[in-house]
A and B are shown apart, each in its own frame.
Chain A
Amino acid sequence: MVECLVGAFVGLALSSPFATLWPRSSPQTEELLGTDGEVGRYGGRLVVAERTEPKTLNPVMALDDVTLEVVRRMTADLIHINRQTQRTEPALAKAWKVSRDARRYTLELRHGVRFSDGHPFTARDVLFSFRVYLDEKVHAPQRDLLIVGGKPIQIEQVDPYTLQFELAQPYAAAERIFDSVAILPEHRLEKAYQEGKISAAWGLQTSPDQIAGLGPFRLKEYVPGQRLALERNPYYWKVDRKGNQLPYLDEIDFLFVANQDAQAMRFEAGETDVVSGLNAENFAVLEDQQQHRGYRLYDVGPGLEYDFLFFNLNDLGSGAPAEAVGKQRWFRELKFRQAVSAAIDRSAIVRLVYRSHGTALWSHVTPGNKLWVDSSLPKPDCSHARARSLLEAAGFHWDSKGILIDSDGKPVEFSVITNAGNAARTQIATIVQSDLAELGMQVQVVRLESRSLLDRVFTSHDYEACVLGLVSGDADPNPEMNVWLSNGSMHLWNLVERQPEWPWEAEIDHLMRQQATTLNLAERKRLYDRVQLLVGENLPLICIVSPNVLVGGKSDLGNFNPTVLGDYVLWNADQLFFRHDQGFKNK
């Protein structure tokens, strides 16, 4: 808790010959952020395939990974986590001071920055943004992250370029809160906010001149079902080492290619320039070809994604059908979940689904998160014998045909929903189905389209079990808060509850809140280790496996540095460039 002054990067006034190329007025009053990457050349269009269309262009409501990947190219935050170093660095805030008790952060904003429509950026936009995010009626997913010690962050404007953030309690990773909290343009969204319609604002059909942001790109056009094009933001506030304004790329095109295999095919054919989220089969095939085809593949190592099976533990309400209530009785029985976990053959899943480009998991923190993973957690092998004894202890028995029957005489059968577009999860579900069939359970695998799946899990709670994966936004435990808190918006297995239902849930709530305000790293680790242990023992999520991050990019692409932290290939889209002229790209 020492008063510290974080040194800012020196802002360079742009005085290079490139100044005349971009429509900017009074460049001398701008304070720009210099970057460290290789100096590149201007031009080119980056083509990226996404598995689905983004759901919205509104940073307030962006939740799923595709929407975030698109929206984050158009927005900027105050303090940013560098995906490669995993440390915070200045962004829109050029410097900040922390008070002695670590409760007050004073941020100095950059001067002379403009939104992508030319409107100046000031502290008012920051105030407006945080007001929107913290407003309970808006239901922004980021709200949970901005509540420290049970109270929302307080913001005060000191002068037009200085802001003070007041926390109710000292917060360990306070700087990291600001990452990806996109600053909204007050002049564009104030009206919608006053009318209470901000969550519906900036849908996909919004015309480009309505949208303004501080990111390296801005919306150019959206053709439904085909592509979403972003163009360079001429007012972007970052420069390279030589003082050239970023980004280098003229345009980023997002194509919608629903199938992972189709994405790999297009990358192989050279139609897209980067590919991420490769599955192991495509990685193997592309790897063989990489010498001849002008691209390179990278196995970046275990990521932060964890794939798991979970059961619907939501309170179904009084109107629920008896069959659903009966099934939920099995899911709520701890020994049942433990038996399911004991029966799953994790090593086979790593081998068959991920071709050994993955790691088995028994709790939610992956080995890719070296700082926070608790390596001392028990890692029991797959054991059907143990599963059977657990089921017997829970009151189940088997009939003459080997089918598992519960204490009421009903055969155990349930369905597992998973994402139709994600072949790996379907394979995991199929292997789990086969493992549970050995125990006498009848499991059906139902593949659903992604939006329909999310609707069932988050809105209608009309499902029995689900295989899903989560990617933590950051190595730090705090972004996971809304997964583990009982009233969190990502508390997947029980979204209905507001209060913890079981003692271990209450303990996890308490531990997560406590580690958020503890400043001592060793103490935080101890608390978070206990959370991992509780998750591993009580299995709200039966964690199964973590895939390695497998990506590819054209050899011609400069500054291509894939990382394990989210936005694997596009995190530094403002620094990507093509070494050679792309020529005609017919699209």
Chain B
Amino acid sequence: MAKSARLLRTLVLLSAIHILVLGAGFFGPYDPDVQDRELPFAPPTRLHWVDARGRFHFRPFVCPYVALTGRFGVYKADLRQTFPVHFFVRSAERRPPGVLHSRWHLFGTDDEARIFLLGTDEYGRDQFSRLLYGGQVSLLAALVAAGVSVGLGLLLGSVAGFCGGLIDGISMRLTELFLALPWLYLLLALRAFLPLQTPPRMSVFLFIMLVGVMGWAWPARLVRGVVLTAKERNYVLAARGFGASDAYLLRRHVVPQTFGVAVTQAGLLIPRYILAEVALSYFGLGVGEPLPSLGNMLAEIQPHNLTSSHWWMLLPGVALIPVLAGYYSLADALHERGGLVQV
């Protein structure tokens, strides 16, 4: 029961994160590529419930930031002007580069003011909206890449384990090679080798294919291990005795045994691929501007002084923590549970 509860909690957390991220257009008040050039590096907007006269309002309000003259990136809140926060705001039609976008937003404020929950970056773009849209790209890319890796690993591992002999030998030597190679450098080298002038969406696709294909080795080995045991089981031998073909045996009896391992592996690979995207973006080889991703948002904080003077730029890194923790926890829970699942 405790195991189920843990699995349930993890799934709820991850679902919440993914719903938040998929609904970036709804939960985020602004488009991720809109530059507010008067407000670069604006700090997170404070929400006020008590106005200057001491009256309490149920509806929170924001005060606009005004740049101090002569100083770059230093602002003072103008407390005399107040703009209420509205909920379920409708905005003008735009084409933001995201998976799902909508004209309705959960919250927003009047046009003259801005509500930057997590501040802005150097171009005045809302970090909160960019975080959500960036999460879309990063999480989705990692998910699909993990799917590619596990899929490839399943295919090659089960064929290797089932056939044995030369095919098995070659496949396993290949996995050893892939595991021995320093994956980060290989990734960088391969990415730099491919055409650099790719539109942002294409660069996401390239990343998925590259990382996904490179990561097949470990799942393949695990799957092979399971297949080696599974193919010796009594019911498999019995089925073979009844004249079942190899393909039938694989499909019906052997491969379903591997699902537990495969899913657990996917749960472990996803955080690793999220971090791979962050690493690639740090070197400028990740997702192209202006499409945000967790990686290129973190790459923006390379200038060392940024984190001391503009601390909110670190928040995408902090936001990664529940995501990674959630996936590792999921992999753990599945391992405890799913590794023993019999189909």
Our verdict on whether A and B bind, yes or no, reads yes
Binding site for B on A (CB under 8 A): 259, 261, 264-265, 280-282, 284-285, 345, 348, 351-352, 355-356, 401-402, 413, 415, 417, 420, 423, 427, 430-431, 433-434, 437, 442, 444-448, 464
Please give, as numbers and ranges, the residues of chain A lying within 8 Å of B311 by CB-CB distance.
none
Which of A351, A402, A420 meets B95, CB within 8 Å? A402
Please give, as numbers and ranges, the residues of chain B lying within 8 Å of A351 by CB-CB distance.
37, 72
The reply to whether A444 and B72 contact each other, CB–CB distance below 8 Å, is: no
Please give, as numbers and ranges, the residues of chain A lying within 8 Å of B309 by CB-CB distance.
285
Please give, as numbers and ranges, the residues of chain B lying within 8 Å of A444 by CB-CB distance.
197-200, 288-289
Interchain CA distance A433-B200 in the complex, whole Å:
13
Q: Which among B42-50, B99-107, B298-306 touches the partner chain?
A: B298-306
Mask, B187-205, CB within 8 Å of A = 1, is 0000000001111100000
The reply to whether A261 and B37 contact each other, CB–CB distance below 8 Å, is: no
Determine whether B135 belongs to the interface, using a CB cutoff of 8 Å to chain A.
Answer: no
Determine whether B35 belongs to the interface, using a CB cutoff of 8 Å to chain A.
Answer: yes
Distance of B83 from chain A, by nearest CB (Å): 24
Interchain CA distance A401-B95 in the complex, whole Å:
8
Distance of A430 from chain B, by nearest CB (Å): 6
Please give, as numbers and ranges, the residues of chain A lying within 8 Å of B95 by CB-CB distance.
401-402
Distance of B271 from chain A, by nearest CB (Å): 27
Please give, as numbers and ranges, the residues of chain B lying within 8 Å of A431 by CB-CB distance.
35, 123
Please give, as numbers and ranges, the residues of chain A lying within 8 Å of B332 by CB-CB distance.
none
Which of B197, B199, B288, B305 meets A464, CB within 8 Å? B197
Please give, as numbers and ranges, the residues of chain B lying within 8 Å of A446 by CB-CB distance.
196-197, 288
The reply to whether A433 and B290 contact each other, CB–CB distance below 8 Å, is: yes
Please give, as numbers and ranges, the residues of chain B lying within 8 Å of A261 by CB-CB distance.
302-304
Which of A280, A348, A402 meets B37, CB within 8 Å? A348
Interchain CA distance A415-B199 in the complex, whole Å:
8
The reply to whether B123 and A430 contact each other, CB–CB distance below 8 Å, is: yes
Apart from A352-B122, A444-B289, A446-B196, what are 13 other A-B pairs with CB-CB below 8 Å?
A261-B303, A264-B304, A281-B303, A285-B309, A351-B37, A401-B95, A430-B123, A430-B289, A431-B123, A444-B197, A444-B200, A447-B284, A464-B197
Interchain CA distance A430-B290 in the complex, whole Å:
8
The reply to whether A413 and B72 contact each other, CB–CB distance below 8 Å, is: no
Binding site for A on B (CB under 8 A): 33, 35, 37, 40, 72, 95, 122-124, 196-200, 284, 288-290, 302-306, 309
Distance of B73 from chain A, by nearest CB (Å): 8
Please give, as numbers and ranges, the residues of chain A lying within 8 Å of B197 by CB-CB distance.
415, 417, 444, 446, 464
Which of B199, B302, B306 meets A413, CB within 8 Å? B199
The reply to whether A352 and B288 contact each other, CB–CB distance below 8 Å, is: no
Distance of A97 from chain B, by nearest CB (Å): 54
Distance of B282 from chain A, by nearest CB (Å): 11
Nearest to A421 among chain B residues (CB) is B284
Nearest to B303 among chain A residues (CB) is A261
Please give, as numbers and ranges, the residues of chain B lying within 8 Å of A352 by CB-CB distance.
37, 40, 122-124
The reply to whether B303 and A282 contact each other, CB–CB distance below 8 Å, is: yes
Please give, as numbers and ranges, the residues of chain A lying within 8 Å of B199 by CB-CB distance.
413, 442, 444
Which of B40, B122, B123, B303 meets A434, CB within 8 Å? B123
Please give, as numbers and ranges, the residues of chain B lying within 8 Å of A282 by CB-CB distance.
303, 305
Nearest to A464 among chain B residues (CB) is B197
Please give, as numbers and ranges, the residues of chain A lying within 8 Å of B302 by CB-CB distance.
259, 261
Nearest to B198 among chain A residues (CB) is A444
Known contacts A355-B72, A431-B35, A433-B289, A285 near B122 by CB under 8 Å: no
Nearest to A357 among chain B residues (CB) is B72
Please give, as numbers and ranges, the residues of chain A lying within 8 Å of B123 by CB-CB distance.
352, 427, 430-431, 434
Nearest to B199 among chain A residues (CB) is A444
Interchain CA distance A281-B197 in the complex, whole Å:
29
Distance of A316 from chain B, by nearest CB (Å): 15
Known contacts A261-B302, A434-B123, A444-B198, A284 near B72 by CB under 8 Å: yes
Please give, as numbers and ranges, the residues of chain B lying within 8 Å of A402 by CB-CB distance.
95
Can you name 9 A-B pairs with beta carbons within 8 Å?
A: A259-B302, A261-B304, A285-B305, A401-B95, A434-B123, A444-B200, A444-B289, A446-B288, A448-B196
Nearest to A285 among chain B residues (CB) is B305
The reply to whether A265 and B37 contact each other, CB–CB distance below 8 Å, is: no
Interchain CA distance A442-B288 in the complex, whole Å:
12
The reply to whether A427 and B122 contact each other, CB–CB distance below 8 Å, is: yes
Nearest to A413 among chain B residues (CB) is B199
Distance of A401 from chain B, by nearest CB (Å): 6
Interchain CA distance A401-B72 in the complex, whole Å:
36
Distance of B292 from chain A, by nearest CB (Å): 12
Distance of B15 from chain A, by nearest CB (Å): 33
Please give, as numbers and ranges, the residues of chain A lying within 8 Å of B33 by CB-CB distance.
434, 437
Please give, as numbers and ranges, the residues of chain A lying within 8 Å of B35 by CB-CB distance.
431, 434
Distance of A464 from chain B, by nearest CB (Å): 7
Known contacts A351-B37, A417-B197, A444-B200, A281 near B284 by CB under 8 Å: no
Distance of B234 from chain A, by nearest CB (Å): 59
Shortest 8 CB-CB contacts between residues of A and residues of B? A415-B197, A285-B305, A355-B72, A447-B284, A348-B37, A261-B303, A446-B196, A446-B197
Please give, as numbers and ranges, the residues of chain B lying within 8 Å of A264 by CB-CB distance.
304
Interchain CA distance A444-B124 in the complex, whole Å:
19
Please give, as numbers and ranges, the residues of chain B lying within 8 Å of A280 by CB-CB distance.
72
Distance of A285 from chain B, by nearest CB (Å): 4
Distance of B313 from chain A, by nearest CB (Å): 12
Interchain CA distance A264-B37 in the complex, whole Å:
26
Interchain CA distance A567-B305 in the complex, whole Å:
27
Interchain CA distance A261-B196 in the complex, whole Å:
24
Interchain CA distance A290-B123 in the complex, whole Å:
28
Please give, as numbers and ranges, the residues of chain B lying within 8 Å of A284 by CB-CB distance.
72
Interchain CA distance A444-B200 in the complex, whole Å:
7
Distance of A347 from chain B, by nearest CB (Å): 9
The reply to whether A423 and B303 contact each other, CB–CB distance below 8 Å, is: yes
Please give, as numbers and ranges, the residues of chain A lying within 8 Å of B284 by CB-CB distance.
420, 447
Interchain CA distance A514-B304 in the complex, whole Å:
50
Distance of B341 from chain A, by nearest CB (Å): 46
Please give, as numbers and ranges, the residues of chain A lying within 8 Å of B306 by CB-CB distance.
281
The reply to whether A265 and B196 contact each other, CB–CB distance below 8 Å, is: no
Please give, as numbers and ranges, the residues of chain A lying within 8 Å of B200 by CB-CB distance.
444
Distance of B27 from chain A, by nearest CB (Å): 23
Distance of A431 from chain B, by nearest CB (Å): 7
Please give, as numbers and ranges, the residues of chain B lying within 8 Å of A413 by CB-CB distance.
199
Interchain CA distance A156-B288 in the complex, whole Å:
58
Please give, as numbers and ranges, the residues of chain B lying within 8 Å of A356 by CB-CB distance.
72
The reply to whether B304 and A265 contact each other, CB–CB distance below 8 Å, is: yes
Interchain CA distance A138-B31 in the complex, whole Å:
54
Please give, as numbers and ranges, the residues of chain B lying within 8 Å of A427 by CB-CB distance.
122-123
Please give, as numbers and ranges, the residues of chain A lying within 8 Å of B288 by CB-CB distance.
444-446
Interchain CA distance A402-B95 in the complex, whole Å:
9
Distance of B187 from chain A, by nearest CB (Å): 17
Please give, as numbers and ranges, the residues of chain B lying within 8 Å of A430 by CB-CB distance.
123, 289-290
Distance of A278 from chain B, by nearest CB (Å): 12
Interchain CA distance A446-B196 in the complex, whole Å:
7
Nearest to A414 among chain B residues (CB) is B197
